[in-house]
A and B are shown apart, each in its own frame.
Chain A
Amino acid sequence: MERLVRKYEQRFRRVKEEMSTWDALHGRLVKQYSNAAAILDRLPVLVAVENYGVLGNELSMARDLPAAQVESLELLFRAMTNTLSDLSRVVAALEKVWRDGCQLLKAERQQPTASQMQQRVGPRPSLQDCVNGLHTLYQMHFDEYNLKVAIVSSLTYGSRGEDVSALQSLLVDQPNIPSTEVRYIFDLIDGGEGK
């Protein structure tokens, strides 16, 4: 069984790579979202000509500035959609790793018994731990992806300020990926490798 566990450990290394990609994309998405929220926040101020002070007199600023901001807002919307599709690719990769992991077990000529699944050799994780860990990590990212899609698509020209900031902190927090649980899974898996 140790041979199988070692194979799973390789799979977890792949998961780690995918998760660091996820983190980078998550950071990018948060940045884009907060930029878009800032623009949405100041648009009502920008469309009021009386707010232009000294700039309102001569230049066509009062017309061009909101237009430029709306343009960059649209660009941000598109960029967020792109980031989301990159994130969905990460989720798909995690799903594939999990399914491959299940396949790994099924391909065994002699199916491991329930007690073998639970069995732990030294500090190494049990087979059950490995399969469960892969599935949990996939499930977390899948749920979080859906949440992100919902948050991003809720951002429209009609969004109110307080809603946007609440959703923004939700986006930053990633409630579906609790870091303690992630660390617990990896501690369990790394038990055999740490030395």
Chain B
Amino acid sequence: MAVESRLWRPAAQRNVRNAWSYIQGHRSSWSSASAAALSSATSLVNAYLLHGDVETMEFGVLADMEDIKEKARKKLLINQRTYLRLYLNSYEELVQFVLQMTSAAKSMKTYLNSSGGPLINFTNVEAIVDGDSGDGGGVPVFSNLPMAAHELLASEIVSMFQKELKVKWLLASEFCKLVYPTLEEVYSVQKELSSPFGSEDMSCTSILSSTEQESKEITKEGANTMGHEVKSPKRETLQVYLTALLAEVYIIKDRIEEIGKIYSEEMSVGLFGTP
């Protein structure tokens, strides 16, 4: 065991360290992308609300100008589409970050011993230790925590971001409906917005189908009222959406800091404590 773990440790440590620094790096890029998403969502909502208000607005001296309201509406619609595009771009970035974080959290183990089969080494490490299931039989990687604990902590952080991504995804579909109220357009945008969680995440696909159903109902209503008048969300709801984007309730900063502290303690002891 001692020999094995001595052979096992350096590669495992390097791998774990890399995985953590990946997660940390993507976390900081997440925060800049999500700030960008918030600001474009704010502009989008403002343009949307203004668009609704154009009819009752006082234009003063401008009122005599030809088609001023029509032009203002058109302009605001174009703005909405631009901001929606920006929001979706930021969202796509966020998806990428979360995907990379997820794969980093899953690739902490250096070796994988499939049941009875040959040992699979899934990083570019030359040395292979036989009979290793990847967690070194539960020995501490650095000083105290075994591999399983590292993986648990990493997946805890990643799941926070996954939850938050789901919120952003829900809001993305809402914003799409806001800007493109008719069914065809919603479909085309939603096709672009593939679910980040793959097909195995049932909850997310069920949300997708439910929103599709909803938009079908909406177009039915729209067909009845003969026009683009769909059930538009209230001002308050939009405010809640923006606050949700701002607050990122599922990303618990205190807990992330705590985990970071645990890890750095591990590391600093590990630097001098490894045999």
Contact = CB atoms under 8 A, between A and B. Distances in A.
A68 B237 contact: no
B65 to A, nearest CB: 33
Contacts, number: 54
B243 A69 contact: yes
Q: Which of A48, A54, A55, A65 has the most CB of B within 10 A?
A: A54
Interface string B234-245: 101101110110
Contacts of A68: 247, 249
A61 B167 contact: yes
B211 interface: yes
Q: Which bracket fits the contact residues of B?
A: 20 to 34
Contacts of B171: 54-55
Contacts of A173: none
A64 B249 contact: yes
Given A61-B244, A69-B247, A72-B247, A54 B239 contact: no
Interface in A21-73: 42, 45-46, 48, 51-55, 57-59, 61, 64-65, 67-69, 72
Given A54-B173, A54-B211, A65 B236 contact: no
Contact of A65 (B170, B173, B244): B244
A181 B210 CA distance: 65
A75 to B, nearest CB: 11
A51 B166 CA distance: 19
Contacts of B173: 54
Interface in B228-262: 233-234, 236-237, 239-241, 243-244, 247, 249-250
A42 B238 CA distance: 11
B176 to A, nearest CB: 11
Nearest to B233: A53
B193 to A, nearest CB: 14
B174 interface: yes
A188 B165 CA distance: 60
Contacts of A67: 249
Contacts of B207: 57-58
B170 to A, nearest CB: 5
A42 B240 CA distance: 8
Contacts of B236: 45, 48, 51
Contacts of B174: 53-54
Interface in B167-207: 167, 170-171, 173-174, 203, 207
Nearest to A64: B249
A57 B170 CA distance: 11
B181 to A, nearest CB: 15
A65 B243 contact: yes
B237 A53 contact: yes
B239 A45 contact: yes
Interface string B216-227: 000000000000
A68 B248 CA distance: 9
A145 B166 CA distance: 46
Interface of A: 42, 45-46, 48, 51-55, 57-59, 61, 64-65, 67-69, 72
Given A53-B241, A57-B210, A65-B243, 20 more contacts: A42-B239, A42-B243, A45-B239, A46-B240, A48-B236, A51-B236, A51-B237, A51-B239, A52-B240, A53-B174, A53-B237, A53-B240, A61-B167, A64-B249, A65-B244, A65-B249, A67-B249, A68-B247, A69-B243, A72-B247
Interface of B: 163, 166-167, 170-171, 173-174, 203, 207, 210-211, 233-234, 236-237, 239-241, 243-244, 247, 249-250
13 contacts: A42-B239, A53-B174, A54-B174, A54-B211, A55-B167, A55-B171, A55-B240, A57-B207, A58-B203, A59-B163, A59-B167, A65-B244, A65-B247
| Closest 10 pairs (CB-CB, A-B) | A53-B237, A51-B236, A64-B249, A68-B249, A45-B236, A68-B247, A51-B240, A51-B237, A54-B174, A53-B233
